[in-house]
Amino acid sequence: MTGEKILCEGNEAVGRGAIYAGCKYFFGYPITPQNEIAEFMARELPQIGGVYVQPEGEGAVAYMLFGGALTGQRVMTATSSPGFSLMQEAISHLAAVEAPAVIVEVMRLGPGAGTGGQQGQTDYRQVTKGGGHGAYRCLVIAPYSAQEIFDFVQLAFYLADKYRIVVIVLTDFILGRVAELIELRRLDFEPLPQKDWALKGKAQKEGRRSCHLSGLVWGGVTGYFSRQLDKYQEIVASETRYQTYKTEGAQLLLVAYGSMARVARDAVDRAQAQGMKVGLLRPITLWPFPKRAIREAGLAAGKVLVVEDSPGELVEDVEVAVGGQVPVHLLNILARHIPGPSGLIYPERVLQEVKALI
Protein backbone atom coordinates (compact mmCIF):
# COMPACT_ATOMS: atom_id res chain seq x y z
CA MET A 1 0.00 0.00 0.00
CA THR A 2 1.35 3.40 -0.88
CA GLY A 3 0.86 6.25 1.56
CA GLU A 4 0.17 9.92 1.05
CA LYS A 5 3.07 11.97 -0.32
CA ILE A 6 3.92 15.30 1.26
CA LEU A 7 6.61 17.95 0.80
CA CYS A 8 8.45 17.64 4.06
CA GLU A 9 11.73 18.99 5.44
CA GLY A 10 14.07 16.57 7.15
CA ASN A 11 13.44 17.92 10.63
CA GLU A 12 9.70 17.51 10.27
CA ALA A 13 10.25 14.01 8.86
CA VAL A 14 11.93 13.13 12.17
CA GLY A 15 8.80 14.04 14.11
CA ARG A 16 6.48 12.29 11.68
CA GLY A 17 8.61 9.13 11.69
CA ALA A 18 8.64 9.09 15.50
CA ILE A 19 4.87 9.36 15.72
CA TYR A 20 4.50 6.58 13.13
CA ALA A 21 6.77 4.48 15.36
CA GLY A 22 4.46 5.02 18.32
CA CYS A 23 6.64 7.50 20.21
CA LYS A 24 4.46 9.59 22.50
CA TYR A 25 7.06 11.11 24.78
CA PHE A 26 9.54 13.73 23.65
CA PHE A 27 11.92 15.72 25.81
CA GLY A 28 13.71 18.62 24.22
CA TYR A 29 15.60 21.85 24.64
CA PRO A 30 15.84 24.40 21.82
CA ILE A 31 18.95 24.55 19.67
CA THR A 32 19.48 25.44 16.01
CA PRO A 33 19.33 23.70 13.53
CA GLN A 34 16.93 21.13 15.03
CA ASN A 35 14.23 23.40 16.46
CA GLU A 36 11.63 22.32 13.91
CA ILE A 37 11.67 18.84 15.46
CA ALA A 38 10.77 20.08 18.93
CA GLU A 39 8.28 22.52 17.44
CA PHE A 40 6.55 19.69 15.57
CA MET A 41 6.47 17.39 18.59
CA ALA A 42 5.24 20.15 20.91
CA ARG A 43 2.36 20.75 18.50
CA GLU A 44 1.50 17.16 17.59
CA LEU A 45 2.09 15.02 20.69
CA PRO A 46 -0.62 16.56 22.91
CA GLN A 47 -3.15 15.78 20.16
CA ILE A 48 -2.44 12.05 20.34
CA GLY A 49 -2.32 11.78 24.10
CA GLY A 50 1.44 12.19 24.25
CA VAL A 51 3.65 14.57 26.17
CA TYR A 52 6.27 17.12 25.17
CA VAL A 53 8.48 18.36 27.98
CA GLN A 54 11.05 21.12 27.79
CA PRO A 55 13.12 21.25 30.99
CA GLU A 56 15.91 23.66 31.92
CA GLY A 57 18.62 22.22 29.68
CA GLU A 58 19.97 19.26 27.73
CA GLY A 59 21.33 17.53 30.84
CA ALA A 60 17.83 17.35 32.27
CA VAL A 61 16.43 16.31 28.90
CA ALA A 62 18.72 13.31 28.74
CA TYR A 63 17.85 12.21 32.29
CA MET A 64 14.15 12.50 31.47
CA LEU A 65 14.87 10.29 28.48
CA PHE A 66 16.56 7.87 30.89
CA GLY A 67 13.55 7.79 33.21
CA GLY A 68 11.07 7.55 30.38
CA ALA A 69 12.96 4.74 28.67
CA LEU A 70 12.97 2.68 31.88
CA THR A 71 9.19 2.67 31.96
CA GLY A 72 9.30 0.77 28.67
CA GLN A 73 7.75 3.57 26.60
CA ARG A 74 9.17 4.75 23.30
CA VAL A 75 10.97 8.00 24.09
CA MET A 76 13.01 10.39 22.02
CA THR A 77 14.94 13.61 22.08
CA ALA A 78 16.55 15.69 19.37
CA THR A 79 19.45 18.06 19.70
CA SER A 80 22.44 19.54 17.94
CA SER A 81 26.15 19.32 18.66
CA PRO A 82 26.66 21.44 21.84
CA GLY A 83 23.42 20.05 23.24
CA PHE A 84 24.52 16.52 22.42
CA SER A 85 27.74 17.09 24.37
CA LEU A 86 25.70 18.14 27.40
CA MET A 87 23.75 14.85 27.23
CA GLN A 88 26.76 12.52 27.37
CA GLU A 89 26.64 11.73 31.10
CA ALA A 90 23.04 10.55 30.94
CA ILE A 91 23.65 8.62 27.72
CA SER A 92 26.37 6.70 29.53
CA HIS A 93 23.84 5.88 32.29
CA LEU A 94 21.28 4.81 29.67
CA ALA A 95 23.90 2.53 28.16
CA ALA A 96 24.86 1.13 31.57
CA VAL A 97 21.35 -0.22 32.22
CA GLU A 98 20.72 -0.94 28.53
CA ALA A 99 17.76 1.39 28.28
CA PRO A 100 16.41 1.79 24.74
CA ALA A 101 16.02 5.36 23.47
CA VAL A 102 16.30 7.30 20.24
CA ILE A 103 18.35 10.48 19.96
CA VAL A 104 18.33 12.56 16.81
CA GLU A 105 21.51 14.60 16.39
CA VAL A 106 21.28 17.37 13.80
CA MET A 107 24.93 18.35 13.58
CA ARG A 108 26.09 21.93 13.47
CA LEU A 109 29.60 22.98 12.61
CA GLY A 110 32.59 23.06 14.88
CA PRO A 111 33.57 22.79 18.55
CA GLY A 112 32.37 25.10 21.32
CA ALA A 113 29.29 27.07 20.40
CA GLY A 114 30.22 26.37 16.80
CA THR A 115 28.74 28.63 14.20
CA GLY A 116 25.35 29.22 15.72
CA GLY A 117 23.82 26.47 13.67
CA GLN A 118 25.49 26.16 10.28
CA GLN A 119 26.30 23.13 8.15
CA GLY A 120 28.96 20.66 9.24
CA GLN A 121 29.68 16.96 9.81
CA THR A 122 32.03 17.55 12.70
CA ASP A 123 30.57 15.16 15.29
CA TYR A 124 31.37 11.86 13.56
CA ARG A 125 33.99 10.79 16.08
CA GLN A 126 31.92 11.82 19.09
CA VAL A 127 28.81 10.05 17.87
CA THR A 128 30.41 6.83 16.65
CA LYS A 129 33.04 6.33 19.34
CA GLY A 130 30.89 7.39 22.29
CA GLY A 131 30.98 10.83 23.87
CA GLY A 132 30.47 9.55 27.40
CA HIS A 133 32.55 7.37 29.68
CA GLY A 134 32.57 3.61 30.07
CA ALA A 135 33.28 1.94 26.70
CA TYR A 136 29.65 1.60 25.67
CA ARG A 137 28.28 1.62 22.14
CA CYS A 138 25.39 3.47 20.54
CA LEU A 139 23.97 2.30 17.25
CA VAL A 140 24.30 5.17 14.74
CA ILE A 141 22.18 5.53 11.60
CA ALA A 142 22.91 8.16 8.95
CA PRO A 143 20.02 8.85 6.55
CA TYR A 144 20.63 10.93 3.43
CA SER A 145 17.17 12.09 2.35
CA ALA A 146 13.91 13.23 3.95
CA GLN A 147 12.33 9.86 3.12
CA GLU A 148 15.18 8.00 4.78
CA ILE A 149 14.93 10.22 7.83
CA PHE A 150 11.24 9.34 8.11
CA ASP A 151 11.92 5.62 7.59
CA PHE A 152 15.09 5.35 9.68
CA VAL A 153 13.54 7.03 12.72
CA GLN A 154 11.04 4.18 12.70
CA LEU A 155 13.88 1.71 12.23
CA ALA A 156 15.74 3.38 15.11
CA PHE A 157 12.90 2.72 17.55
CA TYR A 158 12.74 -0.90 16.46
CA LEU A 159 16.48 -1.45 16.83
CA ALA A 160 16.55 0.38 20.18
CA ASP A 161 13.90 -2.00 21.54
CA LYS A 162 15.35 -5.08 19.89
CA TYR A 163 18.82 -4.63 21.34
CA ARG A 164 18.04 -2.44 24.37
CA ILE A 165 20.45 0.19 23.12
CA VAL A 166 20.57 3.92 22.47
CA VAL A 167 20.15 4.58 18.75
CA ILE A 168 21.37 7.87 17.33
CA VAL A 169 19.96 9.13 14.06
CA LEU A 170 22.59 11.49 12.69
CA THR A 171 21.67 14.31 10.31
CA ASP A 172 22.94 17.84 9.75
CA PHE A 173 21.92 21.35 8.74
CA ILE A 174 21.40 20.37 5.09
CA LEU A 175 19.35 17.24 5.77
CA GLY A 176 17.33 18.96 8.48
CA ARG A 177 16.44 21.83 6.17
CA VAL A 178 15.98 20.21 2.77
CA ALA A 179 12.33 19.62 1.92
CA GLU A 180 11.60 16.67 -0.36
CA LEU A 181 8.58 14.57 -1.18
CA ILE A 182 8.17 11.78 1.31
CA GLU A 183 5.73 8.93 1.35
CA LEU A 184 4.05 8.55 4.73
CA ARG A 185 4.26 4.81 5.35
CA ARG A 186 4.37 2.62 8.41
CA LEU A 187 7.27 0.22 8.27
CA ASP A 188 6.71 -3.32 9.47
CA PHE A 189 9.31 -5.00 11.62
CA GLU A 190 9.63 -8.40 13.27
CA PRO A 191 7.79 -8.77 16.58
CA LEU A 192 9.75 -7.60 19.62
CA PRO A 193 10.15 -9.39 22.95
CA GLN A 194 8.08 -8.18 25.93
CA LYS A 195 9.78 -5.46 27.97
CA ASP A 196 9.73 -7.47 31.17
CA TRP A 197 12.54 -5.29 32.50
CA ALA A 198 10.41 -2.13 32.37
CA LEU A 199 9.49 -0.32 35.58
CA LYS A 200 5.72 -0.21 35.85
CA GLY A 201 5.13 0.58 39.50
CA LYS A 202 4.40 -1.81 42.36
CA ALA A 203 0.69 -2.06 41.54
CA GLN A 204 1.42 -3.73 38.23
CA LYS A 205 4.23 -5.88 39.60
CA GLU A 206 2.20 -7.88 42.11
CA GLY A 207 3.55 -5.72 44.90
CA ARG A 208 7.17 -6.43 43.95
CA ARG A 209 9.56 -3.56 43.92
CA SER A 210 11.94 -3.39 40.94
CA CYS A 211 14.66 -0.94 40.04
CA HIS A 212 17.51 -0.27 37.65
CA LEU A 213 20.78 1.06 38.99
CA SER A 214 23.38 2.48 36.64
CA GLY A 215 25.85 2.67 39.49
CA LEU A 216 26.95 -0.95 39.50
CA VAL A 217 28.17 -3.48 36.99
CA TRP A 218 25.70 -6.31 37.44
CA GLY A 219 26.93 -9.86 37.29
CA GLY A 220 30.54 -8.89 37.90
CA VAL A 221 32.92 -7.10 35.58
CA THR A 222 33.55 -9.90 33.11
CA GLY A 223 29.96 -11.08 33.15
CA TYR A 224 28.68 -7.60 32.40
CA PHE A 225 31.12 -6.82 29.63
CA SER A 226 30.88 -10.21 28.00
CA ARG A 227 27.12 -9.71 27.75
CA GLN A 228 27.70 -6.30 26.18
CA LEU A 229 30.26 -7.73 23.78
CA ASP A 230 27.89 -10.49 22.71
CA LYS A 231 25.23 -7.91 22.00
CA TYR A 232 27.61 -5.64 20.09
CA GLN A 233 28.82 -8.60 18.05
CA GLU A 234 25.27 -9.53 17.15
CA ILE A 235 24.60 -5.95 16.07
CA VAL A 236 27.73 -5.93 13.91
CA ALA A 237 26.68 -9.21 12.30
CA SER A 238 23.02 -8.34 11.73
CA GLU A 239 22.65 -4.58 11.46
CA THR A 240 25.57 -3.28 9.41
CA ARG A 241 23.99 -1.30 6.60
CA TYR A 242 25.43 0.45 3.55
CA GLN A 243 24.53 1.23 -0.03
CA THR A 244 26.65 1.06 -3.14
CA TYR A 245 26.03 3.26 -6.17
CA LYS A 246 27.54 2.52 -9.58
CA THR A 247 30.50 0.70 -8.01
CA GLU A 248 30.56 -1.99 -10.72
CA GLY A 249 33.93 -1.73 -12.44
CA ALA A 250 34.77 1.49 -10.58
CA GLN A 251 38.42 2.59 -10.63
CA LEU A 252 37.86 5.07 -7.84
CA LEU A 253 35.59 4.52 -4.85
CA LEU A 254 34.02 7.49 -3.13
CA VAL A 255 32.98 7.03 0.50
CA ALA A 256 30.64 9.57 2.10
CA TYR A 257 27.65 9.57 4.45
CA GLY A 258 24.58 11.74 5.03
CA SER A 259 24.36 15.01 3.11
CA MET A 260 27.83 14.56 1.63
CA ALA A 261 26.75 11.23 0.16
CA ARG A 262 24.14 13.16 -1.85
CA VAL A 263 26.83 15.55 -3.07
CA ALA A 264 29.20 12.66 -3.85
CA ARG A 265 26.44 10.76 -5.66
CA ASP A 266 25.85 13.77 -7.90
CA ALA A 267 29.59 13.89 -8.63
CA VAL A 268 29.50 10.18 -9.52
CA ASP A 269 26.68 10.84 -12.01
CA ARG A 270 28.64 13.65 -13.62
CA ALA A 271 31.88 11.65 -13.73
CA GLN A 272 30.13 8.63 -15.25
CA ALA A 273 28.52 10.88 -17.86
CA GLN A 274 32.04 11.91 -18.82
CA GLY A 275 33.16 8.30 -19.08
CA MET A 276 34.98 8.02 -15.75
CA LYS A 277 34.56 4.78 -13.82
CA VAL A 278 33.68 6.07 -10.37
CA GLY A 279 31.35 4.63 -7.73
CA LEU A 280 30.08 5.50 -4.28
CA LEU A 281 29.80 3.45 -1.13
CA ARG A 282 27.65 5.08 1.50
CA PRO A 283 27.73 3.80 5.06
CA ILE A 284 24.16 3.88 6.40
CA THR A 285 25.11 2.66 9.85
CA LEU A 286 28.18 4.50 11.14
CA TRP A 287 28.33 2.07 14.03
CA PRO A 288 28.35 -0.75 13.17
CA PHE A 289 30.68 0.45 10.42
CA PRO A 290 30.59 -1.40 7.05
CA LYS A 291 34.27 -2.20 7.30
CA ARG A 292 34.30 -5.32 5.15
CA ALA A 293 32.22 -3.81 2.34
CA ILE A 294 34.54 -0.79 2.19
CA ARG A 295 37.61 -3.01 2.17
CA GLU A 296 36.24 -5.15 -0.66
CA ALA A 297 34.99 -2.26 -2.79
CA GLY A 298 38.09 -0.19 -2.03
CA LEU A 299 40.46 -2.99 -2.99
CA ALA A 300 38.48 -3.70 -6.16
CA ALA A 301 38.67 -0.04 -7.20
CA GLY A 302 42.32 0.42 -6.25
CA LYS A 303 41.87 3.83 -4.64
CA VAL A 304 39.44 5.58 -2.36
CA LEU A 305 38.30 9.18 -1.95
CA VAL A 306 36.51 10.09 1.29
CA VAL A 307 34.27 13.17 1.09
CA GLU A 308 33.25 14.64 4.43
CA ASP A 309 32.33 18.10 5.70
CA SER A 310 34.79 17.85 8.55
CA PRO A 311 38.57 18.18 8.94
CA GLY A 312 38.68 14.35 8.67
CA GLU A 313 36.98 11.80 10.93
CA LEU A 314 35.21 9.26 8.72
CA VAL A 315 38.50 8.97 6.83
CA GLU A 316 40.09 7.32 9.89
CA ASP A 317 37.58 4.48 9.86
CA VAL A 318 37.99 4.07 6.10
CA GLU A 319 41.78 3.89 6.48
CA VAL A 320 41.38 1.18 9.10
CA ALA A 321 38.94 -0.67 6.83
CA VAL A 322 41.30 -0.84 3.85
CA GLY A 323 44.26 -1.57 6.11
CA GLY A 324 46.80 0.40 4.10
CA GLN A 325 46.30 -1.76 1.02
CA VAL A 326 45.05 1.04 -1.23
CA PRO A 327 45.56 4.81 -1.06
CA VAL A 328 42.83 6.75 0.77
CA HIS A 329 42.42 10.38 -0.26
CA LEU A 330 40.37 12.97 1.59
CA LEU A 331 38.27 15.88 0.38
CA ASN A 332 37.40 17.69 3.58
CA ILE A 333 35.91 20.88 4.97
CA LEU A 334 38.63 22.94 3.30
CA ALA A 335 36.93 22.15 -0.03
CA ARG A 336 34.01 24.40 0.82
CA HIS A 337 33.06 27.13 -1.55
CA ILE A 338 32.91 29.89 1.03
CA PRO A 339 30.46 32.56 -0.16
CA GLY A 340 26.97 32.03 1.21
CA PRO A 341 26.02 31.90 4.86
CA SER A 342 28.72 29.33 5.75
CA GLY A 343 29.99 27.84 2.52
CA LEU A 344 29.23 24.36 1.23
CA ILE A 345 31.02 21.54 -0.54
CA TYR A 346 29.42 21.38 -3.97
CA PRO A 347 29.32 18.41 -6.38
CA GLU A 348 31.44 20.40 -8.84
CA ARG A 349 34.31 20.49 -6.33
CA VAL A 350 34.04 16.73 -5.75
CA LEU A 351 34.08 16.14 -9.51
CA GLN A 352 37.23 18.26 -9.80
CA GLU A 353 38.90 16.05 -7.18
CA VAL A 354 37.73 12.90 -8.94
CA LYS A 355 39.28 14.12 -12.20
CA ALA A 356 42.56 14.82 -10.44
CA LEU A 357 42.67 11.32 -8.97
CA ILE A 358 41.43 9.08 -11.74
Which residues are at the interface with other proteins (CB under 8 A)?
5, 7, 9, 32, 116-119, 174, 177-181, 262-263, 265-266, 268-269, 337, 339-342, 344, 346-349
Residue closer to other proteins (CB basis): 7 or 229: 7
Give min distance, CB of 254 to other proteins, in A: 12
Distance between CA atoms of residues 336 and 180, nearest Å: 24
C-alpha 46: how far from chain center? 26
Give min distance, CB of 331 to other proteins, in A: 14
Give min distance, CB of 118 to other proteins, in A: 8
Helix (H) or strand (E) holding 301: helix 291-301
Residue closer to other proteins (CB basis): 231 or 349: 349
Q: How many H-runs (helices) and E-runs (strands) does the chain carry?
A: 13, 14
Residue closer to other proteins (CB basis): 135 or 181: 181
Give min distance, CB of 347 to other proteins, in A: 5
Could you write out the DSSP letters of every residue in 75-117? EEEEE-HHHHHHTHHHHHHHHHTT--EEEEEEE-SSSTTTTSS
Residue closer to other proteins (CB basis): 36 or 319: 36
Q: Are 176 and 11 in contact (CB under 8 A)?
A: yes
Give min distance, CB of 219 to other proteins, in A: 48
Residue closer to other proteins (CB basis): 35 or 73: 35
Give min distance, CB of 342 to other proteins, in A: 8
Residue closer to other proteins (CB basis): 97 or 281: 281
Distance between CA atoms of residues 88 and 95, nearest Å: 10
Distance between CA atoms of residues 173 and 342, nearest Å: 11
Distance between CA atoms of residues 101 and 65, nearest Å: 7
